[in-house]
Amino acid sequence: MTRKIFVLRHGETQFNAEQKLQGHCNSPLTAKGAAQAQGVAAQLKTHLAEQNFTVYSSPLGRAVQTAHIICETLSYCPTRVVEDPRLKEFSLGTWEQRTIPSLTLEHPTLLENNDWYLNAPQSETYDAVQARLTHWLSEIPESDNVVVVSHGLTGIALRGLLLGLSYEQAWTQDLPQDAFFIIENQSVTRVNCEVKTT
């Protein structure tokens, strides 16, 4: 059986709602973010029924919070989640906690390229993030399916790595919080998740 890797992003956070960059900083999930995590969990459950899997998470609070919501639905003990710093979001240098509107006032053409985040002074590079992800992938067992709870930009880098995409191709990928991606044999399937809001 070929291993499947399920790549997902944490749910919406307070900073996301405020259009504020997080990077290595953190903010908690909003009510919408918790609902997104529950929607993802419900779909994951159908894909992982009667299969062995391990849950890995970035150690940043928003990812751990999402992972624990998912664990509840999957009946997976949260203490078994493997938190690994190599799954953290890109460091966005001096732009962390800056709002996107304030940055576009200073840099009017900023959003013209999908990789605009990496223009941040002292930002972590794409190659550096792929290097830490490559190291992580080399250490995880080949046998079980893998659920990865990570971040928007790191998810782009991880999917790019698993699918053999060029830098330019990788940045055409989207970074949803209400969907996840199943990667198997260098092919990808997107699974959209219904979000129930009250």
Per CATH, the architecture of 5-192 is what? 3-Layer(aba) Sandwich (3.40)
pLDDT in tens, 154-164: 999 999 999 99
> In the predicted model, what is the mean pLDDT of residues 114-139?
97
pLDDT in tens, 36-45: 999 999 999 9
pLDDT-based confidence at residue 73 (cuts at 50, 70, 90): very high
Q: Taking 70 as the threshold, does the pLDDT of residue 1 lie above it?
A: no
> In the predicted model, what is the mean pLDDT of residues 181-195?
93
Q: Which two tokens stand for residue 144?
A: 């079980």
Three-state DSSP state, 35: helix
Q: Please, where are the H alpha helices in 52-151?
A: 61-74, 100-106, 126-139
The pTM assigned to this predicted structure is 0.95
Instruction: Give the span between the Cα atoms of 63 and 152, in whole angstroms.
Output: 11
Higher pLDDT, 49 or 90: 90
Q: Taking 90 as the threshold, does the pLDDT of residue 198 lie above it?
A: no
Active site residues: 10, 89
pLDDT-based confidence at residue 197 (cuts at 50, 70, 90): low
Residues whose CB falls within 8 Å of the CB of residue 12, separated by 6 or more in sequence, listed in order:
29, 30, 32, 33, 36, 177
